[in-house]
Amino acid sequence: MNQDTCIARLAGVRKRYGNIVALDGIDLDIHRGELVALLGPNGAGKSTSIALLLGLHRADAGAVTLFGRDPQDIAARRRIGVMLQSAVLPDTLRVAELLRLTASYYPEPRAIAECAAITGVDDLMTRRYGALSGGQQRRVQFAMAIVGRPEILFLDEPTVGMDIDARQSLWAAIRQMLKERCAVVLTTHYLEEAEALADRVCVIAKGRVVSQGSVDALRAHVALRRIRCVTALDAADVARWPRVVSVDVQQGRLTVATADAEGVVRRLLDADPSLAELEVRRAGLAEAFQEITRESAAVQEAA
Residues that bind another protein (CB under 8 A): 3-4, 6-7, 54-57, 67-68, 74-80, 82, 84, 86-93, 97-98, 100-102, 104-108, 128, 148, 154
Least CB distance to another protein at residue 51 (A): 8
Decide: residue 94, CB within 10 A, 0-12 exposed, 13-18 middle, 19+ buried: middle
Q: What span, in angstroms and rounded, lies between the C-alpha atoms of 155 and 35? A: 11
Nearer to another protein, 96 or 223 (CB): 96
Helical residues (DSSP H) of the chain, grouped into ranges: 46-53, 74-77, 95-103, 112-119, 134-146, 164-179, 191-197, 215-221, 235-239, 261-271, 285-302
d(CA 200, CA 211): 10
Instruction: Check: CB of residue 94 under 8 Å from CB of residue 129.
Output: yes
Give min distance, CB of 182 to another protein, in A. Answer: 13
* Least distance CB 202 / another protein (angstroms): 20
Phi/psi for 286 (5° steps) reads: -60, -50
For the CB of residue 199, give the shortest distance to another protein in the complex, in Å: 20
Task: Identify the DSSP state of 78.
Answer: T
Q: Report the residue number, 141 or 296, with the smaller CB distance to another protein.
A: 141
User: To the nearest whole angstrom, how small is the minimum distance from the Cβ of residue 3 to another protein?
Assistant: 7
Parallel, antiparallel, or unpaired: how do β-strands 152-156 and 80-83 relate? parallel
Q: Output 88 or 276, the one with its CB closest to another protein.
A: 88
Query: Between residues 101 and 286, which has the closer beta carbon with respect to another protein?
Result: 101
Calpha distance 165→163 (Å, rounded): 6
Residues 48, 15: contact at Cβ < 8 Å? yes
Listed in sequence order, the residues at least 6 apart from 179 whose beta carbon sits closer than 8 Å to its beta carbon are none
Percent helix / strand / coil, the chain, rounded to 5: 40, 30, 30
Rank residues 9 and 225 by Cβ distance to another protein and give the closer one.
9
- Output the smallest distance, CB 95 to another protein, in A: 12
Closer CB to another protein, 98 or 254, in the complex: 98
Closest contact distance (angstroms) between CB of 40 and another protein is 21
Q: How far is the CB of 17 from another protein (least distance, A)?
A: 12
Of the pair 101, 232, the CB lying nearest another protein is at 101
Neighbouring-strand partners of residue 94: 128
Q: Considering beta carbons, is residue 180 or 262 the nearer one to another protein? A: 180
Dist CA 168 CA 110 (whole Å): 23
